Amino acid sequence: MYRVAKVFADDNTPAHVRGNMKAVITAILTDYEARSPAVIDDPGYGHCREPLIRLVQLIRSGGGFSKSGKWNIGQTDNTFAQTILRSPTVFNFFSPSYAEPGAIQSAGIVSPELDIVYSTTLTQTQNMIYNGIYNVNYANNPPTGGAFVGDSGGSDVYLDFSANGCGLIPLAQTKGLNAMVDQAALLSPARHSIPSPRRSSSTSSGARSARRTTWNRRRRRTT
C-alpha cells in the first residue's frame, strides 16, 4: 500500500505528476508482492475474489459486450452461490467473520469470500468462463453459441476478440504489457491527474487494488 501510494502522490517523472493512473497501475502490476513467490505461503497474503467479481473483471477487461444490450446472463444462485441484488442478508452473500479452516483460521484472520468459494462453485465458475471463451464461434459477427450463461439466460454476453477490440485481452496478445497498462489507465474512473489533496481517498482505493487477488486454496464442503 505504501509503495503504490507513493507512486500515486508522485509518478517519479520530471513533472512529478500526482494521480498518474498509468504509473499507479504499473506499480501495482510490477510490485514484488504481485510477482514474487516468496509471499505465497503467508496465510494473510492476497484477497479472494468472489465469483461475481471474478466474472465481471474478466468481462470488463476483455471488452465484453451484450448483443441485446440487456446483459442477459440470468440468475447465478446455483452457479456462483450469489446473484446480483439477491443477497440473502444485509451482510452480503457470505459471513464477514468466516475463517477458512486450516492456516487462515489458525492465524486468527478471516476470509469472508471463501465462505462461497468451494469445490462446487469453483467448478461451475470455471465451466461458465470456459463456455464464454472457448465454446463460442468468434468468427461470426456478432459471435454465436456459448456465451456467459448462468443458471438460465441466453447467448448474449461475449468478449471482444476482434482486431479492433477495446479490451485488454487483444491488447495483451498483440501489443504487450505497455499497451495493456495504457488501456487499464483509460478504464480507470480516476484516470486524470488529481492535484487536490482533498481527494486523497483515491490513494487508498488505488492501493487496495494492489492486494493479490488469487488464492491457491480450495474449500471442501460436505453435504
Structure confidence at residue 207 (pLDDT): 33
Tell which residue, 135, 115, 117, has the closest CA to residue 127.
135
Location of C-alpha cell 465454446: 135
The full set of domain ranges for the chain reads 2-208
Tell me the pLDDT tens digit for each residue of 137-184: 877 878 888 889 998 777 899 988 666 665 566 666 677 767 766 666
5-26: average pLDDT: 93
pTM for the whole thing? 0.64
Return the percentage of the chain with pLDDT > 70, whole number.
74
Residue 215 cell numbers, joined: 488464492
